[in-house]
Amino acid sequence: MTDPELIVNQNIPSRAPDLVVVRRQAECWSVVQVSSKLAEWLGLGDLELTGRHLGELFADVSPGLDQLAEEVHSDGQSLNDISVHFLGEESRFLQVDVVPGGLSREAYQRQVLFYFRLPSLGQARQHEPVSRFGLIGSSPGMQEVFRKIRLYAATDASVVITGETGSGKELVARALHEQSLRHDHAFVAVNCSAISPELLESELFGHEKGAFTGALRSHKGRFERAHRGTIFLDEIGDMPEAAQVKLLRVLEEGCLERVGSERGLEVDVRVVGATNVPLERAVQQGRFRADLYHRLAVLRIHLPALRQRPEDLPLLVEHFLALFRRKYDRQVERLTSEAMALLQAYLWPGNVRELRNVLERVFIENGSEVIGARAFREWVRERQDFSPGDWGPEGLDGKTAPLSLPYTLGGDRLLLSHPQRLALADHGAVFSAARNRATRPVPLRVDEIRQAYHAAGENLSGAARLLGVHRATLYRHLDRLGLTRSDLSSP
């Protein structure tokens, strides 16, 4: 058999042949031709590309294009919506469909087509990177966050960062510090809700020896440690009133007094606060000083919840997989399309933090190079036992206290936007696809086939997709098990 040839194509509506062509030679894929549009977008310029190895030309791409080509060529199945990470100075992602292309006309060689989703040429050079300041996202909401970080970092004005728990507020605060003229000095983070009200004032502003029982020596507070740098006050809405009064003086006069001292100390500190509850409501309820609110909230940055930027989820998945590959020294390349669809059906009340924890869990438990939907079965079962109300604080009467929008899910009781997908996965009917099929074939059981058949509306092609196998493979299993459509229709 002649060696296969790979064609990498730009994805435009007509899928016209604007191509990168590579051919497999001596166990390597070598480049024959590169699309001018793709070359321009990737910044390859006038480099001589003919004859270059695909793995060498795209060395900083994950997963490797040569690996995807081999997988599609050997399995004969398409891979859809694969997130390809282009590393480098500006981390960028492209979505790609990898499709068997039949035989080439000239040499009757087998082809594989890569359909990349590129921005239009007019936007190619203005393309916003998806990774900035340790934050990941290409959604309009995240691009606005990036814009404000660049704009606000050059000032010393106070900033309030809003957003749900787990959305990355401390990352934004660190980015503001690192992009500012204060980056050579300390960044000090304090969680105001993690320190008792009795100790918070001393922890923030320090105390003198003998100021209270147990004060055996003078103590330098967090504000003094952050001198000429930035202090990040997380959960600032939980700050007790006495500390609020002192914070207001620091903001207005640049001066503080240690507990037990009558001498003022000058400090030069930029204050960045964060809250996952509306400060406006805390002001209305008398829990937060109105004058401090107006002095503190000069600038505002709001981090959108993960469910509000679903297009960022594949980017975050690839980012965390790359992180875990380095951490655990294991080659887990990607999630199957079924697994990605399962994650996109979930509303993520814990936001990016919850996503990271879930992925780390399945990364550790998974034994293959591709993570399928079945790897999430236990997590799915756990999540189905919860609703957003169960995650809220408990009131004194034992009832769940009301949560305030836009920082919580409010009255929504479902954590799943498409519960049927997770229910199917929970019964084991959604399997890993593509590479897992090629390397680890697993016999299908009658109950699994029947569950998938009913979930797909009694359509065998749909059932095959849910099971992660080709339709012909499903027919072979039906023949082996002696099953007919009527058998599958019965409960």
| Predicted local distance difference test score (pLDDT) of residue 26 | 59
Q: If we measure between CA atoms, which residue out of 114, 116, 119, 118 comes closest to residue 8?
A: 114
Cβ contacts of residue 102 below 8 Å, gap of 6+?
A: 110, 111
Q: Is the CATH number 1.10.8.60 carried by domain 307-391+402-442?
A: yes
Q: Where in the chain is the domain with CATH 3.40.50.300?
A: 131-302
- Would you say 173 and 274 are in contact if contact means Cβ atoms under 8 Å apart? yes
Q: If we measure between CA atoms, which residue out of 448, 307, 306, 437 comes closest to residue 377?
A: 448
Over the chain (491 residues), what is each successive 10-residue block's mean pLDDT?
44 41 62 71 66 72 75 75 65 73 62 69 44 81 90 94 93 94 93 87 80 71 92 93 91 85 86 90 91 92 92 89 90 84 87 94 88 88 62 36 30 46 44 34 74 76 70 76 80 63
- Would you say 234 and 274 are in contact if contact means Cβ atoms under 8 Å apart? yes
| Predicted local distance difference test score (pLDDT) of residue 394 | 36
Q: Is the CATH number 3.40.50.2300 carried by domain 5-124?
A: no
Q: Is the CATH number 3.40.50.300 carried by domain 131-302?
A: yes
Question: What pTM was computed for the model?
Answer: 0.61
Scanning the structure block, which residue is given the tokens 């790897």? 375
Q: Where in the chain is the domain with CATH 3.30.450.20?
A: 5-124
Q: Where in the chain is the domain with CATH 1.10.8.60?
A: 307-391+402-442
Question: What is the distance of C-alpha 487 from the center of its chain?
Answer: 42
